Structures are given as C-alpha cells and as structure tokens.
Amino acid sequence: MPAPDLSAKRTAYDAWLAARTGRPAETVPGLSEALPFPLDPEGLARRGWSDLPLYWIPEPGIVYADGYGEDRAIYDTPIFNPEGVEPRTIHLGLDVFALPGTRVHAPLDGVMHSFQRNDNEKDYGPTIILEHEVTPELTFYTLYGHLSLDSLDGLEPRKPVSKGQEIARLGSNDVNGGWAPHLHFQVILDVSDKHGDFPGVCRKSEQEAWLTLCPDPEAFLGLGQRR
C-alpha cells in the first residue's frame, strides 16, 4: 500500500498540471491520434478475445492506447494472482500498443532515475524510470515498461534527459515480459526505495490510494478525451 501522506503531493501535482503551459513531447509517435483499446472483460469480448493474444500487433500506422484505472481480466499469472489473496487487476498506467522497435521519447526534461530488466513471466521486461523536477517543491517520476533489451545499453543513473529525446524502443514479446508489444507508461509521485521497477497493477480494494499515487497519464500527456 502507498504511504498515507500523499495528499499534499497530489495537490501540488494537480496544481502544477492545471497551471502548465504547452504540451509534453509525444512519448510514442502517433500517440495523439491513438485509438481506444480497452482490455476489461467487455473490451476483450468485443474483439472475440478471452485474453490479450501474445502475437497480436497493431495494423501498420495505427497506435492504440488505453487502460488507466481499468479493471482487467488479463492478469492471470502468480505475479498478479497469488493463491489465497486478493488478485491485482486495476491497471495504474497507460498502455500504448505499437509495432516492436517503435521509438519512445521523454515527455519532459529530467534525469535517468533507474533501469533494469524485470525478467519474470508477465513482468515489465526492460524498464526505465525517469525523474522530473518540475518546480523546487515538486518532483515526480515516469516509468516505461516492456522495452527492447538494447534500450538499457549505456544508461547511467542521474544522466540528464531532454524533452523529446529518444530514450528507448518497444520490445518484442520474447524480451518484453511475454506480452503483445506495447509501452506501459506510468506517472508516479513517489517511487520510495524502488529502482527500475514499480507496481503497475493494484488490488481493487486498494485502488483509491494507488490511483492517488499514480495520476492519470492521459491528463499528463495532454491527450484529452479520445472516446
């Protein structure tokens, strides 16, 4: 569970977001025109799926994005659903589906906080976390999961990153944790002692606290209402 004292930081973040001028850089090319892609039971049923197919990829030139706060039916491995406890099904980030190798860009200036390969089944695979100090009083983080393995080459903690800079590429399903190719993008107000990893899914009973800690990525990215 997140620490209970997040309200002040969330208030500061929301105030910064409301006062922000200009848009962040497009994290994935074509994201501003992305189509919805729900993966809750109804969304899966509309596609005739019972799960997200491992080998599915978008049509060339099409980007899909969806999933923040979504109660999903695709988290069926022990990492999300250990025996005897409440499963984790509420998605805390935005999933952006595009072709393997698609470029990923930093939305804001920042520094490289941490990175690692999370190589468990249905995990993030190669992962990067950036740190953004947007005011003297407000620092937050953005996470990029399911990357290509070579995205981690040559990275150094605290190395500066510029808005719009290419930081990674999307990984294929043999390196990205075993998923159809996509970017998991998440805004995190406090990563605590985590390095190169952070929960991207929470229990339904704990979603209020986790969704406070991890604000809506669509609002951060300036995507607006796409439905």
> Which residue(s) pair with 203 in the sheet?
88
Whole-number Å distance between alpha carbons of 53 and 39: 11
pLDDT above 90 covers what percent of the chain? 85
Which stretch, 5-9, 57-61, 168-172, has highest mean pLDDT?
Answer: 168-172
pTM above 0.85, yes or no: yes
CATH fold for domain 7-221: Glucose Permease (Domain IIA) (2.70.70)
Per-residue model confidence as pLDDT tens digits over 97-141: 999 999 999 999 999 999 999 999 899 999 999 999 999 999 999
The pLDDT of residue 73 is 77
For position 4, what pLDDT does the model report?
61
Helix, strand, coil in percent for the chain, rounding step 5: 20, 25, 55
Closest to 162 in 3D by CA, of 219, 217, 105? 105
Structural domain boundaries of the chain? 7-221
